[in-house]
Amino acid sequence: MAQTAANFAPLEHTDPIAAFHAERATDVAAQGRDDALKRLSYRWIAETAPYHYAYNFCWMGRPVIQFPQDMLAMQEIIWRVQPDLIVETGIAHGGSLVYYASMLQLLGNGGRVLGIDIDIRAHNREALDAHPMRPHIDMIEGSSIAEDVIAEVGRRASGCKTVLVALDSNHTHEHVRAELDAYAPLVTQGSYLVVFDTVIEDMPPDMYPDRPWDRGDNPRTAVDEFLHETEEFEVDQRIEDKLLITVSPGGYLRRVGGGR
């Protein structure tokens, strides 16, 4: 057989899908190492914050307080992990609950979303009750760190095969640390514990004057402390490297040990 360039092509280039993924992984890792690009992304986040950029979007008619980039990352995680339970602390208007519920309906695995909020406003509950995704959603009203709420969530998670947890309620260090202790044990092997708004640590100080969190007291400081004490979770760096614009740098945690 004549020796052509194709005979000597590296193995990965014979499979176009593998070649695509390999090239993308190389690009993602490279942009993740680009500190100037990261600084630009943080600056973009800081400069859009006064306009409440995260409030600009809806999913299936419900306001979702997230960056579209993080929503796409959650879709990728849900597809990969195929959870049959997603727990979210912090419901607000319920946009993310509806989003996760719609993803589970597409998966068709009978999965459910469990939202917890200290204050489910009447107008939000009414809109969620009337929503087509409602059959996939459960809600608990109460503090996510109250003992009875934690026990109830634990009961509901115990019969589930694959559990994913997203923390997006009160963003103080103390609260998120307590949530991490309460809900990390529910996350199943290979699944994710996503902690939103870790980016507060990368924002200028005093950016949230009407909130109890700030630089030095936020989800990122809680995650750092938590990871210092456990080897069961690690940051999935590939996610923030690909997003660049994310409210959760260092907040996409994957369970790599322990658990079920």
Q: Which stretch binds ligand SAM (CB under 6 A): 8-16, 28-36, 111-119, 248-256?
A: 111-119
Helix (H) or strand (E) holding 163: strand 163-167
89 binds ligand SAM (CB under 6 A): yes
**Of positions 69, 96, 162, 248, contacts ligand SAM by CB under 6 A:** 96
88/214 with CB nearer ligand SAM: 88
166/244 with CB nearer ligand SAM: 166
Shortest spacing between CB 142 and ligand SAM, in angstroms: 7
The CA distance from 148 to 127, in Å, is 26
Q: Which stretch binds ligand SAM (CB under 6 A): 45-53, 58-66, 154-162, 252-260?
A: 58-66
Shortest spacing between CB 54 and ligand SAM, in angstroms: 8
The CA distance from 130 to 191, in Å, is 31
**Of positions 23, 119, 126, 225, contacts ligand SAM by CB under 6 A:** 119
H runs (alpha helix) in the chain? 16-32, 35-48, 68-81, 95-107, 122-129, 147-158, 173-183, 219-229, 237-243
Length of the chain: 260
202 binds ligand SAM (CB under 6 A): no
| Cα 28 to the center of its chain, rounded Å | 19
Query: DSSP 3-state assignment of 259?
Result: coil
**Of positions 45, 85, 92, 128, contacts ligand SAM by CB under 6 A:** 92
